[in-house]
């Protein structure tokens, strides 16, 4: 499954970068995130609970940032397992200043298995896009508070 898109966020890239790389703030913005605990430099243990269609359930996994070029870009790797199945993926985020705001572009690719994979790519992509949209809406609201 591949996913990509872009969002405009109401803050300069340095503030967006600070938000995206702060595990405490990030955990509050990620839909269903119950825990995001540091496990080393740029690596975190995560516990997430989703209630969306076939991906409903609890997942435990890791999130890792790498190839960081503050405040312009980074790559990330994620993996998670739960009763509904598993997901392994990589992604990239790029930030660019545009009129005092940040244009964020993201792209990623994930492999899924178990019951999650059995429901079909269209449903999984829809659920993933919903999670991403909720995350960036929450990030925009958080940045407006600053």
Residue-level pLDDT, tens digit, the chain, 146 residues: 899 999 999 999 999 999 999 999 999 999 999 999 999 999 999 999 987 666 688 999 999 999 999 999 999 999 999 988 898 999 999 999 999 999 999 999 999 888 777 776 677 888 888 889 999 999 999 999 98
CATH of 2-145, one of 3.10.129.10, 3.20.20.10, 3.30.530.20, 3.10.20.600: 3.30.530.20
pTM metric for this prediction: 0.91
Q: Which residue has the tokens 């991403």?
A: 132
Distance CA 89, CA 131 (A): 15
| Domain spans, the chain | 2-145
Kindly report the number of other CB atoms within 10 A of residue 65's CB atom.
16
3-state helix, strand, coil in the chain (%, to 5): 30, 50, 15
């Amino acid at each position: 499954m591949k996913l990509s898109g872009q969002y405009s966020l109401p803050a300069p890239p340095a503030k967006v970068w600070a938000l995206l790389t702060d595990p405490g703030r990030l955990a509050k913005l990620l839909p269903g995130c119950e825990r995001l605990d540091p496990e080393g430099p740029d690596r975190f243990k995560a516990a997430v609970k989703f209630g969306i269609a076939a991906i409903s359930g609890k997942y435990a996994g890791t999130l890792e940032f790498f190839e960081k070029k503050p405040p312009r870009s980074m790559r990330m790797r994620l993996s998670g397992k739960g009763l509904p199945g598993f997901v392994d993926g990589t992604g990239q985020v790029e930030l660019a200043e545009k009129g005092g705001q940040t244009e964020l572009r993201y792209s990623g690719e994930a492999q899924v298995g178990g019951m999650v994979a059995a429901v079909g790519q269209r449903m999984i992509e829809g659920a993933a896009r919903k999670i991403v949209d909720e995350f960036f809406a929450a990030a925009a609201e958080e940045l407006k508070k600053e």
